[in-house]
Structure 1
Amino acid sequence: MINVYVQHETARCEELAEQIRGILTQAMPAVEKVTGLAMPDRVTVELVDVDGLAAAWSAFTRRQAERDTAGLDLTEWQRKRVASLPLAARWAARKVGMSEEYTLIANSAGRPSTLIIPEALDRLGLTTPDQLCALLVRALAQQAQVAACEGSLVPPPVWPVIRPGRDVAELVSHAHAQWTSDQATPLILGKPVARDRRRRQGTFLETVIGLFEVGLAKQRARATTLVDQAMAAVGPDRFNHVWTVDGLLPTLDELRQPVSWIRRLPA
Protein backbone atom coordinates (compact mmCIF):
# COMPACT_ATOMS: atom_id res chain seq x y z
CA MET A 1 0.00 0.00 0.00
CA ILE A 2 1.25 3.49 -0.86
CA ASN A 3 0.10 6.49 1.16
CA VAL A 4 0.98 10.02 0.11
CA TYR A 5 -0.43 12.63 2.47
CA VAL A 6 -0.63 16.32 1.65
CA GLN A 7 -0.66 18.67 4.62
CA HIS A 8 -1.70 21.77 2.67
CA GLU A 9 -3.90 20.95 -0.30
CA THR A 10 -2.71 23.27 -3.04
CA ALA A 11 -2.88 22.44 -6.73
CA ARG A 12 0.90 22.15 -6.91
CA CYS A 13 1.11 19.83 -3.90
CA GLU A 14 -1.66 17.62 -5.25
CA GLU A 15 0.18 17.39 -8.57
CA LEU A 16 3.43 16.53 -6.77
CA ALA A 17 1.61 13.93 -4.68
CA GLU A 18 0.33 12.19 -7.81
CA GLN A 19 3.79 12.31 -9.32
CA ILE A 20 5.26 10.74 -6.18
CA ARG A 21 2.63 7.98 -6.17
CA GLY A 22 3.49 7.12 -9.74
CA ILE A 23 7.23 7.02 -9.10
CA LEU A 24 6.83 4.92 -5.94
CA THR A 25 4.68 2.40 -7.80
CA GLN A 26 7.42 2.02 -10.43
CA ALA A 27 10.30 2.09 -7.97
CA MET A 28 9.22 -0.36 -5.27
CA PRO A 29 9.83 -3.57 -7.30
CA ALA A 30 13.26 -2.31 -8.39
CA VAL A 31 14.25 -1.45 -4.81
CA GLU A 32 13.20 -4.88 -3.57
CA LYS A 33 15.09 -6.53 -6.44
CA VAL A 34 18.44 -4.83 -5.89
CA THR A 35 18.39 -4.78 -2.07
CA GLY A 36 16.85 -8.16 -1.35
CA LEU A 37 14.75 -6.40 1.30
CA ALA A 38 10.97 -6.42 1.50
CA MET A 39 9.20 -3.10 1.51
CA PRO A 40 7.00 -2.37 4.54
CA ASP A 41 3.35 -3.25 4.02
CA ARG A 42 2.61 0.48 4.02
CA VAL A 43 4.92 3.00 2.32
CA THR A 44 4.16 6.52 3.49
CA VAL A 45 5.32 9.88 2.19
CA GLU A 46 4.04 13.11 3.73
CA LEU A 47 4.24 16.52 2.06
CA VAL A 48 4.61 19.08 4.83
CA ASP A 49 5.76 22.63 5.44
CA VAL A 50 8.52 23.63 7.85
CA ASP A 51 6.12 23.83 10.79
CA GLY A 52 4.75 20.38 9.98
CA LEU A 53 8.25 18.95 9.80
CA ALA A 54 9.18 20.56 13.12
CA ALA A 55 6.10 19.17 14.87
CA ALA A 56 6.56 15.67 13.43
CA TRP A 57 10.30 15.55 14.16
CA SER A 58 9.75 16.75 17.72
CA ALA A 59 7.05 14.15 18.37
CA PHE A 60 9.21 11.41 16.86
CA THR A 61 12.18 12.45 18.99
CA ARG A 62 10.02 12.32 22.12
CA ARG A 63 8.86 8.78 21.26
CA GLN A 64 12.39 7.63 20.50
CA ALA A 65 13.72 9.14 23.72
CA GLU A 66 11.05 7.38 25.75
CA ARG A 67 11.89 4.09 24.05
CA ASP A 68 15.66 4.50 24.35
CA THR A 69 15.59 5.40 28.05
CA ALA A 70 12.95 2.93 29.23
CA GLY A 71 14.24 1.09 32.29
CA LEU A 72 17.44 3.14 32.54
CA ASP A 73 18.51 4.68 35.85
CA LEU A 74 19.30 8.19 34.65
CA THR A 75 20.95 10.93 36.63
CA GLU A 76 19.12 14.21 37.15
CA TRP A 77 21.27 15.85 34.48
CA GLN A 78 20.54 13.04 32.04
CA ARG A 79 16.79 13.29 32.68
CA LYS A 80 16.91 17.01 31.93
CA ARG A 81 18.93 16.37 28.79
CA VAL A 82 16.44 13.77 27.57
CA ALA A 83 13.53 16.09 28.34
CA SER A 84 15.14 18.81 26.23
CA LEU A 85 15.55 16.66 23.12
CA PRO A 86 12.07 17.19 21.57
CA LEU A 87 12.37 20.98 21.87
CA ALA A 88 15.86 20.89 20.39
CA ALA A 89 14.56 18.75 17.54
CA ARG A 90 11.77 21.21 16.81
CA TRP A 91 14.25 24.10 16.76
CA ALA A 92 16.68 22.25 14.48
CA ALA A 93 13.93 21.25 12.04
CA ARG A 94 12.77 24.85 11.73
CA LYS A 95 16.31 26.08 11.09
CA VAL A 96 17.60 23.50 8.63
CA GLY A 97 14.48 21.77 7.29
CA MET A 98 14.68 23.64 4.00
CA SER A 99 18.16 22.20 3.47
CA GLU A 100 17.07 18.57 3.75
CA GLU A 101 16.01 16.35 0.86
CA TYR A 102 13.68 14.43 3.15
CA THR A 103 13.38 13.32 6.75
CA LEU A 104 12.74 9.76 7.89
CA ILE A 105 10.66 9.15 11.02
CA ALA A 106 8.63 6.29 12.47
CA ASN A 107 5.18 6.64 13.99
CA SER A 108 4.06 5.32 17.38
CA ALA A 109 3.51 1.86 15.84
CA GLY A 110 7.02 1.84 14.37
CA ARG A 111 5.88 2.34 10.76
CA PRO A 112 8.28 4.46 8.70
CA SER A 113 7.27 7.71 7.05
CA THR A 114 9.24 10.03 4.77
CA LEU A 115 8.60 13.75 5.25
CA ILE A 116 9.22 16.05 2.29
CA ILE A 117 8.96 19.84 2.11
CA PRO A 118 8.00 20.66 -1.51
CA GLU A 119 9.68 24.07 -1.34
CA ALA A 120 12.91 22.39 -0.22
CA LEU A 121 12.89 20.28 -3.38
CA ASP A 122 12.66 23.49 -5.40
CA ARG A 123 15.53 25.02 -3.48
CA LEU A 124 17.74 21.95 -3.81
CA GLY A 125 17.06 21.44 -7.50
CA LEU A 126 15.36 18.07 -6.98
CA THR A 127 12.08 18.62 -8.81
CA THR A 128 12.97 17.12 -12.19
CA PRO A 129 11.46 13.65 -12.70
CA ASP A 130 14.89 11.98 -12.76
CA GLN A 131 16.15 13.67 -9.58
CA LEU A 132 12.84 13.06 -7.80
CA CYS A 133 13.00 9.39 -8.76
CA ALA A 134 16.53 9.02 -7.38
CA LEU A 135 15.48 10.75 -4.16
CA LEU A 136 12.42 8.54 -3.70
CA VAL A 137 14.49 5.41 -4.29
CA ARG A 138 16.77 6.49 -1.43
CA ALA A 139 13.70 7.07 0.73
CA LEU A 140 12.28 3.65 -0.15
CA ALA A 141 15.58 1.98 0.72
CA GLN A 142 15.50 3.52 4.16
CA GLN A 143 11.88 2.51 4.71
CA ALA A 144 12.90 -1.05 3.76
CA GLN A 145 15.73 -0.82 6.31
CA VAL A 146 13.22 0.15 9.01
CA ALA A 147 11.08 -2.87 8.15
CA ALA A 148 14.13 -5.18 8.16
CA CYS A 149 15.47 -4.07 11.55
CA GLU A 150 12.00 -3.44 13.02
CA GLY A 151 13.05 0.09 13.87
CA SER A 152 15.92 -0.94 16.14
CA LEU A 153 18.65 0.71 14.02
CA VAL A 154 16.80 2.91 11.54
CA PRO A 155 15.81 5.59 12.28
CA PRO A 156 18.78 5.68 14.68
CA PRO A 157 18.18 5.96 18.44
CA VAL A 158 18.31 9.46 19.93
CA TRP A 159 19.76 8.42 23.30
CA PRO A 160 22.52 8.45 24.18
CA VAL A 161 23.24 11.50 22.05
CA ILE A 162 25.94 10.79 19.46
CA ARG A 163 27.93 13.45 17.65
CA PRO A 164 27.24 13.81 13.90
CA GLY A 165 29.63 11.64 11.95
CA ARG A 166 29.97 9.08 14.75
CA ASP A 167 26.52 7.51 14.50
CA VAL A 168 27.38 4.39 12.52
CA ALA A 169 23.74 3.35 12.07
CA GLU A 170 22.98 6.66 10.35
CA LEU A 171 26.12 6.43 8.22
CA VAL A 172 25.41 2.89 7.01
CA SER A 173 21.74 3.67 6.42
CA HIS A 174 22.61 6.70 4.31
CA ALA A 175 25.29 4.83 2.33
CA HIS A 176 23.03 1.84 1.69
CA ALA A 177 20.26 4.15 0.46
CA GLN A 178 22.67 5.82 -1.97
CA TRP A 179 23.95 2.44 -3.20
CA THR A 180 20.35 1.38 -3.76
CA SER A 181 19.65 4.51 -5.76
CA ASP A 182 22.75 3.95 -7.88
CA GLN A 183 21.62 0.39 -8.64
CA ALA A 184 17.84 0.72 -8.87
CA THR A 185 17.32 4.07 -10.59
CA PRO A 186 18.80 2.89 -13.91
CA LEU A 187 16.39 -0.07 -13.83
CA ILE A 188 13.48 2.36 -13.51
CA LEU A 189 14.60 5.12 -15.89
CA GLY A 190 16.87 3.19 -18.24
CA LYS A 191 19.80 5.43 -17.35
CA PRO A 192 21.83 6.49 -14.29
CA VAL A 193 21.06 9.80 -12.62
CA ALA A 194 23.92 12.05 -11.53
CA ARG A 195 23.33 13.91 -8.29
CA ASP A 196 23.12 17.59 -9.14
CA ARG A 197 22.35 19.57 -6.03
CA ARG A 198 21.72 23.21 -6.83
CA ARG A 199 24.31 25.67 -5.58
CA ARG A 200 22.58 28.03 -3.21
CA GLN A 201 23.17 30.82 -0.72
CA GLY A 202 22.48 29.42 2.72
CA THR A 203 21.58 31.20 5.89
CA PHE A 204 24.33 32.05 8.36
CA LEU A 205 23.26 29.10 10.53
CA GLU A 206 23.37 26.73 7.57
CA THR A 207 26.85 28.01 6.70
CA VAL A 208 28.05 27.31 10.24
CA ILE A 209 26.45 23.88 10.22
CA GLY A 210 28.08 23.22 6.86
CA LEU A 211 31.50 23.78 8.40
CA PHE A 212 30.76 21.17 11.06
CA GLU A 213 29.46 18.81 8.38
CA VAL A 214 32.86 18.56 6.72
CA GLY A 215 33.70 15.77 9.14
CA LEU A 216 30.30 14.17 8.54
CA ALA A 217 30.93 14.21 4.79
CA LYS A 218 34.22 12.35 5.29
CA GLN A 219 32.55 9.70 7.41
CA ARG A 220 29.73 9.32 4.92
CA ALA A 221 32.29 8.84 2.17
CA ARG A 222 33.91 6.07 4.22
CA ALA A 223 30.53 4.44 4.80
CA THR A 224 29.81 4.63 1.07
CA THR A 225 33.10 2.89 0.32
CA LEU A 226 32.32 0.21 2.91
CA VAL A 227 28.86 -0.51 1.47
CA ASP A 228 30.14 -0.52 -2.12
CA GLN A 229 32.96 -2.95 -1.26
CA ALA A 230 30.70 -5.18 0.81
CA MET A 231 28.09 -5.42 -1.93
CA ALA A 232 30.76 -6.23 -4.52
CA ALA A 233 32.38 -8.85 -2.26
CA VAL A 234 29.41 -10.67 -0.72
CA GLY A 235 26.22 -9.30 -2.27
CA PRO A 236 23.01 -7.94 -0.72
CA ASP A 237 21.87 -11.13 1.02
CA ARG A 238 24.94 -11.34 3.26
CA PHE A 239 25.13 -7.57 3.67
CA ASN A 240 21.52 -7.50 4.90
CA HIS A 241 22.50 -9.38 8.06
CA VAL A 242 23.55 -5.93 9.32
CA TRP A 243 19.85 -5.09 9.82
CA THR A 244 18.99 -8.23 11.78
CA VAL A 245 22.07 -9.42 13.69
CA ASP A 246 22.90 -7.64 16.94
CA GLY A 247 26.37 -6.13 17.08
CA LEU A 248 27.04 -6.42 13.36
CA LEU A 249 27.17 -2.71 12.61
CA PRO A 250 30.73 -1.70 11.69
CA THR A 251 32.79 0.21 14.19
CA LEU A 252 34.24 3.59 13.36
CA ASP A 253 37.62 1.89 12.87
CA GLU A 254 36.05 -0.61 10.47
CA LEU A 255 34.73 2.25 8.35
CA ARG A 256 38.40 2.88 7.56
CA GLN A 257 39.06 -0.84 7.00
CA PRO A 258 36.04 -2.29 5.17
CA VAL A 259 37.71 -5.64 4.52
CA SER A 260 37.90 -6.39 8.25
CA TRP A 261 34.17 -5.73 8.61
CA ILE A 262 33.28 -7.77 5.53
CA ARG A 263 35.02 -10.76 7.11
CA ARG A 264 32.60 -10.48 10.07
CA LEU A 265 29.49 -10.83 7.90
CA PRO A 266 27.73 -14.17 8.45
CA ALA A 267 27.64 -16.55 5.51
Structure 2
Amino acid sequence: MTDVKVLHETGKHGDLQERVESILDEVVPLVRETTRLELPALVVFRIIDPETWQADSEADLTGFVSRFRARRPRWHAPAIGLVERMSLRQFRKVAPLLGGVLVMGATTAGPAEQSQTMLVPEALAHSGVLSSPYYLTQLVIHELVHHAQNLATLHREAWAAEKPSAFLRAGSIKFVEEGHAYWVDQQVTRRLFGEPKNIHTAPTTIQSDVYQAALKNRRIARMRRGPDIYTKGRQLVAAAIESAGLSTFNGVWTDLSLLPVKHELEHPDRWAERLTAGTS
Protein backbone atom coordinates (compact mmCIF):
# COMPACT_ATOMS: atom_id res chain seq x y z
CA MET A 1 0.00 0.00 0.00
CA THR A 2 1.39 3.39 -1.01
CA ASP A 3 0.35 6.60 0.70
CA VAL A 4 0.61 9.68 -1.52
CA LYS A 5 1.10 13.23 -0.27
CA VAL A 6 1.18 16.33 -2.45
CA LEU A 7 2.41 19.33 -0.50
CA HIS A 8 1.75 22.83 -1.84
CA GLU A 9 4.44 25.07 -0.34
CA THR A 10 3.83 28.11 -2.53
CA GLY A 11 0.70 30.11 -3.21
CA LYS A 12 1.11 30.01 -6.98
CA HIS A 13 -1.08 27.93 -9.30
CA GLY A 14 -3.40 26.83 -6.52
CA ASP A 15 -5.09 24.15 -8.64
CA LEU A 16 -1.80 22.34 -9.30
CA GLN A 17 -1.96 20.34 -6.08
CA GLU A 18 -5.39 18.95 -6.96
CA ARG A 19 -4.26 18.14 -10.51
CA VAL A 20 -1.18 16.26 -9.35
CA GLU A 21 -3.18 14.37 -6.71
CA SER A 22 -5.72 13.29 -9.34
CA ILE A 23 -2.99 12.08 -11.69
CA LEU A 24 -1.23 10.13 -8.95
CA ASP A 25 -4.46 8.41 -7.95
CA GLU A 26 -4.73 7.12 -11.50
CA VAL A 27 -1.12 6.28 -12.33
CA VAL A 28 0.27 4.75 -9.13
CA PRO A 29 -1.17 1.28 -9.90
CA LEU A 30 -0.24 1.62 -13.59
CA VAL A 31 3.40 2.44 -12.78
CA ARG A 32 3.59 -0.47 -10.37
CA GLU A 33 2.11 -2.80 -12.97
CA THR A 34 4.30 -1.52 -15.83
CA THR A 35 7.59 -1.60 -13.91
CA ARG A 36 6.88 -4.59 -11.65
CA LEU A 37 8.68 -2.60 -8.99
CA GLU A 38 7.36 -1.60 -5.59
CA LEU A 39 6.81 2.01 -4.63
CA PRO A 40 7.79 3.44 -1.24
CA ALA A 41 5.20 3.31 1.53
CA LEU A 42 5.04 7.10 1.25
CA VAL A 43 5.35 9.02 -2.03
CA VAL A 44 5.83 12.76 -1.62
CA PHE A 45 5.42 15.41 -4.31
CA ARG A 46 6.23 18.98 -3.29
CA ILE A 47 5.18 22.13 -5.12
CA ILE A 48 7.85 24.68 -4.24
CA ASP A 49 9.46 27.94 -5.31
CA PRO A 50 12.74 28.15 -7.29
CA GLU A 51 14.78 29.11 -4.24
CA THR A 52 13.64 26.04 -2.30
CA TRP A 53 14.36 23.89 -5.36
CA GLN A 54 17.93 25.21 -5.46
CA ALA A 55 18.53 24.70 -1.74
CA ASP A 56 17.12 21.18 -1.70
CA SER A 57 18.92 20.20 -4.90
CA GLU A 58 22.19 21.33 -3.35
CA ALA A 59 21.43 19.29 -0.24
CA ASP A 60 20.75 16.23 -2.38
CA LEU A 61 24.06 16.67 -4.21
CA THR A 62 26.07 17.10 -1.02
CA GLY A 63 24.27 14.13 0.53
CA PHE A 64 25.38 11.80 -2.24
CA VAL A 65 28.92 13.19 -2.08
CA SER A 66 28.97 12.57 1.69
CA ARG A 67 27.94 8.95 1.17
CA PHE A 68 30.62 8.59 -1.48
CA ARG A 69 33.22 10.13 0.85
CA ALA A 70 32.27 7.72 3.64
CA ARG A 71 33.14 4.74 1.42
CA ARG A 72 36.52 6.03 0.27
CA PRO A 73 39.88 6.01 2.14
CA ARG A 74 40.26 9.03 4.42
CA TRP A 75 43.17 10.34 2.40
CA HIS A 76 40.79 10.81 -0.56
CA ALA A 77 38.75 13.36 1.40
CA PRO A 78 40.60 16.52 0.20
CA ALA A 79 40.21 15.58 -3.46
CA ILE A 80 36.55 14.69 -2.97
CA GLY A 81 36.01 18.00 -1.18
CA LEU A 82 37.55 19.86 -4.11
CA VAL A 83 35.27 18.07 -6.58
CA GLU A 84 32.27 18.86 -4.39
CA ARG A 85 33.12 22.57 -4.23
CA MET A 86 33.64 22.74 -7.99
CA SER A 87 30.36 20.93 -8.64
CA LEU A 88 28.46 23.24 -6.34
CA ARG A 89 30.06 26.30 -7.94
CA GLN A 90 28.98 25.14 -11.40
CA PHE A 91 25.51 24.21 -10.18
CA ARG A 92 24.94 27.62 -8.58
CA LYS A 93 25.78 29.36 -11.84
CA VAL A 94 22.93 27.65 -13.68
CA ALA A 95 20.52 26.92 -10.81
CA PRO A 96 18.26 29.96 -11.37
CA LEU A 97 17.72 28.94 -15.00
CA LEU A 98 17.29 25.28 -14.11
CA GLY A 99 14.94 25.56 -11.15
CA GLY A 100 12.99 28.57 -12.30
CA VAL A 101 12.71 27.87 -16.02
CA LEU A 102 14.01 24.57 -17.41
CA VAL A 103 13.64 21.69 -14.94
CA MET A 104 10.13 20.27 -15.19
CA GLY A 105 10.53 17.92 -12.22
CA ALA A 106 13.27 16.55 -10.00
CA THR A 107 13.18 13.57 -7.65
CA THR A 108 15.67 13.42 -4.79
CA ALA A 109 16.38 11.17 -1.84
CA GLY A 110 14.14 11.59 1.17
CA PRO A 111 14.35 10.15 4.69
CA ALA A 112 14.78 6.38 5.04
CA GLU A 113 13.45 4.62 1.92
CA GLN A 114 11.41 7.59 0.75
CA SER A 115 11.94 9.93 -2.18
CA GLN A 116 10.52 13.36 -2.89
CA THR A 117 9.64 14.99 -6.19
CA MET A 118 10.01 18.75 -6.51
CA LEU A 119 7.77 20.67 -8.91
CA VAL A 120 8.26 24.39 -9.53
CA PRO A 121 5.14 26.08 -10.98
CA GLU A 122 7.16 28.75 -12.79
CA ALA A 123 9.27 26.15 -14.61
CA LEU A 124 6.20 24.07 -15.46
CA ALA A 125 4.56 27.13 -16.99
CA HIS A 126 7.64 28.18 -18.99
CA SER A 127 8.18 24.66 -20.39
CA GLY A 128 4.55 24.22 -21.41
CA VAL A 129 3.83 21.34 -19.05
CA LEU A 130 0.93 23.23 -17.51
CA SER A 131 -0.63 23.88 -20.90
CA SER A 132 -1.95 20.34 -21.29
CA PRO A 133 -2.98 17.53 -18.91
CA TYR A 134 -1.11 15.13 -21.20
CA TYR A 135 2.30 16.61 -20.44
CA LEU A 136 1.69 17.03 -16.72
CA THR A 137 0.62 13.39 -16.59
CA GLN A 138 3.78 12.30 -18.40
CA LEU A 139 5.91 14.29 -15.97
CA VAL A 140 4.21 12.84 -12.88
CA ILE A 141 4.62 9.29 -14.23
CA HIS A 142 8.29 9.89 -15.07
CA GLU A 143 9.11 11.18 -11.60
CA LEU A 144 7.05 8.47 -9.91
CA VAL A 145 9.21 5.87 -11.64
CA HIS A 146 12.25 7.43 -9.98
CA HIS A 147 10.60 6.75 -6.60
CA ALA A 148 10.38 3.06 -7.53
CA GLN A 149 13.98 3.00 -8.78
CA ASN A 150 15.24 4.66 -5.61
CA LEU A 151 13.49 2.08 -3.45
CA ALA A 152 14.86 -0.77 -5.55
CA THR A 153 18.46 0.50 -5.32
CA LEU A 154 18.07 2.02 -1.84
CA HIS A 155 19.18 5.33 -3.33
CA ARG A 156 22.00 3.57 -5.21
CA GLU A 157 23.32 1.83 -2.07
CA ALA A 158 22.92 -1.51 -3.84
CA TRP A 159 25.39 -0.42 -6.51
CA ALA A 160 27.64 1.68 -4.31
CA ALA A 161 28.44 -1.25 -2.04
CA GLU A 162 30.63 -2.47 -4.90
CA LYS A 163 31.36 0.82 -6.67
CA PRO A 164 31.11 3.95 -4.48
CA SER A 165 31.07 6.28 -7.50
CA ALA A 166 27.58 4.93 -8.24
CA PHE A 167 26.36 7.49 -5.71
CA LEU A 168 27.32 10.16 -8.23
CA ARG A 169 25.45 8.53 -11.15
CA ALA A 170 28.70 7.52 -12.81
CA GLY A 171 28.95 5.64 -16.08
CA SER A 172 25.75 4.20 -17.47
CA ILE A 173 23.57 4.76 -14.41
CA LYS A 174 22.06 8.04 -15.62
CA PHE A 175 21.15 6.43 -18.96
CA VAL A 176 19.44 3.49 -17.26
CA GLU A 177 17.58 5.60 -14.69
CA GLU A 178 16.31 8.23 -17.10
CA GLY A 179 15.84 5.84 -20.01
CA HIS A 180 13.76 3.51 -17.86
CA ALA A 181 11.59 6.35 -16.54
CA TYR A 182 11.10 7.61 -20.11
CA TRP A 183 10.21 4.11 -21.36
CA VAL A 184 7.62 3.72 -18.59
CA ASP A 185 6.05 7.16 -19.07
CA GLN A 186 5.62 6.40 -22.77
CA GLN A 187 4.04 3.01 -22.02
CA VAL A 188 1.60 4.44 -19.49
CA THR A 189 0.61 7.54 -21.47
CA ARG A 190 -0.07 5.31 -24.48
CA ARG A 191 -2.36 3.23 -22.30
CA LEU A 192 -4.13 6.31 -20.91
CA PHE A 193 -4.43 8.43 -24.05
CA GLY A 194 -4.13 6.00 -26.95
CA GLU A 195 -0.67 7.29 -27.92
CA PRO A 196 2.48 8.22 -25.98
CA LYS A 197 2.84 11.82 -24.90
CA ASN A 198 6.23 13.51 -24.86
CA ILE A 199 6.76 17.11 -23.81
CA HIS A 200 10.20 17.08 -25.48
CA THR A 201 8.60 16.78 -28.91
CA ALA A 202 5.71 19.13 -28.21
CA PRO A 203 5.35 22.27 -30.36
CA THR A 204 7.67 25.05 -29.26
CA THR A 205 4.69 27.40 -29.37
CA ILE A 206 3.68 26.17 -25.91
CA GLN A 207 7.05 27.27 -24.49
CA SER A 208 7.67 30.76 -23.23
CA ASP A 209 10.24 33.09 -24.76
CA VAL A 210 12.10 32.86 -21.44
CA TYR A 211 12.32 29.08 -21.79
CA GLN A 212 13.61 29.22 -25.36
CA ALA A 213 16.17 31.87 -24.41
CA ALA A 214 17.36 29.76 -21.46
CA LEU A 215 18.06 26.83 -23.77
CA LYS A 216 20.43 29.07 -25.72
CA ASN A 217 22.33 30.17 -22.63
CA ARG A 218 26.02 29.35 -23.03
CA ARG A 219 26.31 27.35 -19.81
CA ILE A 220 23.07 25.46 -20.44
CA ALA A 221 24.11 24.65 -24.02
CA ARG A 222 27.40 23.28 -22.70
CA MET A 223 25.56 21.05 -20.22
CA ARG A 224 23.36 19.69 -23.00
CA ARG A 225 26.26 18.60 -25.21
CA GLY A 226 26.69 14.93 -25.84
CA PRO A 227 24.16 12.11 -26.07
CA ASP A 228 20.58 12.76 -25.02
CA ILE A 229 20.32 10.56 -21.93
CA TYR A 230 16.54 10.33 -22.28
CA THR A 231 16.35 9.24 -25.91
CA LYS A 232 19.49 7.10 -25.82
CA GLY A 233 18.52 5.67 -22.47
CA ARG A 234 15.03 4.75 -23.65
CA GLN A 235 16.47 2.96 -26.68
CA LEU A 236 18.84 1.08 -24.40
CA VAL A 237 16.13 0.05 -21.94
CA ALA A 238 13.55 -0.81 -24.59
CA ALA A 239 16.01 -3.13 -26.36
CA ALA A 240 16.89 -4.85 -23.10
CA ILE A 241 13.29 -5.36 -21.98
CA GLU A 242 12.16 -6.56 -25.39
CA SER A 243 14.99 -9.08 -25.61
CA ALA A 244 15.53 -10.26 -22.03
CA GLY A 245 12.16 -9.53 -20.46
CA LEU A 246 11.18 -7.16 -17.68
CA SER A 247 12.02 -9.48 -14.80
CA THR A 248 15.58 -9.96 -16.05
CA PHE A 249 15.98 -6.26 -16.76
CA ASN A 250 14.92 -5.40 -13.20
CA GLY A 251 17.96 -7.26 -11.95
CA VAL A 252 20.01 -4.15 -12.80
CA TRP A 253 18.62 -2.34 -9.74
CA THR A 254 20.50 -4.61 -7.35
CA ASP A 255 23.35 -6.06 -9.43
CA LEU A 256 26.05 -3.65 -10.60
CA SER A 257 27.46 -6.21 -13.02
CA LEU A 258 24.25 -6.11 -15.07
CA LEU A 259 24.51 -2.41 -15.83
CA PRO A 260 25.63 -1.62 -19.40
CA VAL A 261 29.30 -0.89 -19.99
CA LYS A 262 30.62 1.80 -22.32
CA HIS A 263 30.50 -0.11 -25.62
CA GLU A 264 27.00 -1.36 -24.79
CA LEU A 265 25.79 2.22 -24.49
CA GLU A 266 26.82 2.69 -28.11
CA HIS A 267 25.24 -0.61 -29.17
CA PRO A 268 22.09 -1.31 -27.10
CA ASP A 269 21.58 -4.66 -28.82
CA ARG A 270 24.83 -5.92 -27.26
CA TRP A 271 23.59 -5.15 -23.75
CA ALA A 272 20.28 -6.82 -24.57
CA GLU A 273 22.14 -9.88 -25.84
CA ARG A 274 24.22 -10.10 -22.64
CA LEU A 275 21.13 -9.87 -20.43
CA THR A 276 19.33 -12.44 -22.55
CA ALA A 277 22.30 -14.83 -22.43
CA GLY A 278 22.22 -14.64 -18.66
CA THR A 279 18.72 -16.11 -18.61
CA SER A 280 19.53 -19.14 -20.76
TM-score range, shorter chain: 0.7 to 0.9
Deviation string, structure 1 residues 25-50 (Cα, Å, up to 9, x no partner): 10011111111111111111111111
Give the alignment partner of residue 101 of structure 1, picking from 104, 127, 131: 104
Residues 87 and 153 from structure 1, CA distance in 2 versus in 1: closer, same or farther, beyond 3 angstroms? farther
Unaligned runs of 5+ in 1: none
SS at match of 1:9: coil
1:129 aligns with 2:133: yes
Structure 2 counterpart of 1:126, which letter? V
SS at match of 2:226: helix
Distance 2:158 2:116 in 1: 12
Is the CA contact (8 Å cut-off) linking 1:45 and 1:114 kept in structure 2?
Answer: yes
Distance 1:246 1:194 in 2: 30
Q: Aligned Cα RMSD in Å? A: 2.9
Residues 130 and 204 from structure 1, CA distance in 2 versus in 1: closer, same or farther, beyond 3 angstroms? closer
Structure 1 counterpart of 2:188, which letter? A
SS at match of 2:46: strand
Residues 85 and 194 from structure 1, CA distance in 2 versus in 1: closer, same or farther, beyond 3 angstroms? closer
Structure 1 counterpart of 2:145, which letter? A
- Using the TM superposition, give the Cα deviation of residue 71 of structure 1 relative to its aligned residue in structure 2, in angstroms: 4.0
Unaligned runs of 5+ in 2: none
Deviation string, structure 1 residues 12-33 (Cα, Å, up to 9, x no partner): 23x1011100101100111111
TM-score, normalising length: structure 1? 0.86
- In structure 1, the partner of 2:220 is 209
Structure 1 residues 106-115 or 208-217, which shifts more?
208-217
Deviation string, structure 1 residues 90-149 (Cα, Å, up to 9, x no partner): 444223222111112112424211111111111111111111111111111111111111
- Using the TM superposition, give the Cα deviation of residue 247 of structure 1 relative to its aligned residue in structure 2, in angstroms: 2.2
1:120 aligns with 2:123: yes
- In structure 2, the partner of 1:76 is 78
Is the CA contact (8 Å cut-off) linking 1:68 and 1:159 kept in structure 2?
Answer: yes
Structure 1 counterpart of 2:225, which letter? V
- In structure 2, the partner of 1:141 is 145
Could you say which structure has the higher helix fraction? 2
Distance 1:254 1:181 in 2: 23
Residues 207 and 110 from structure 1, CA distance in 2 versus in 1: closer, same or farther, beyond 3 angstroms? farther
The number of residues matched between the two structures is: 262
1:1-267 matched pairs, under 5 angstroms: 1-10=3-12, 12-13=13-14, 15-72=15-72, 73=74, 74=76, 76-83=78-85, 85-86=87-88, 88-97=90-99, 98-127=101-130, 128-152=132-156, 167-195=171-199, 196=202, 198=204, 199=207, 200=209, 201-203=212-214, 206-217=217-228, 219-265=229-275, 266-267=278-279
- Using the TM superposition, give the Cα deviation of residue 229 of structure 1 relative to its aligned residue in structure 2, in angstroms: 1.0
SS at match of 1:80: helix
Deviation string, structure 1 residues 197-249 (Cα, Å, up to 9, x no partner): 635432387344224413132x5433222111112112211111111112221
Distance 1:204 1:220 in 2: 17
Deviation string, structure 1 residues 144-189 (Cα, Å, up to 9, x no partner): 1111111117999995897x9x741111111111110111112233
Q: Percent of aligned positions with the same letter in both sequences?
A: 24
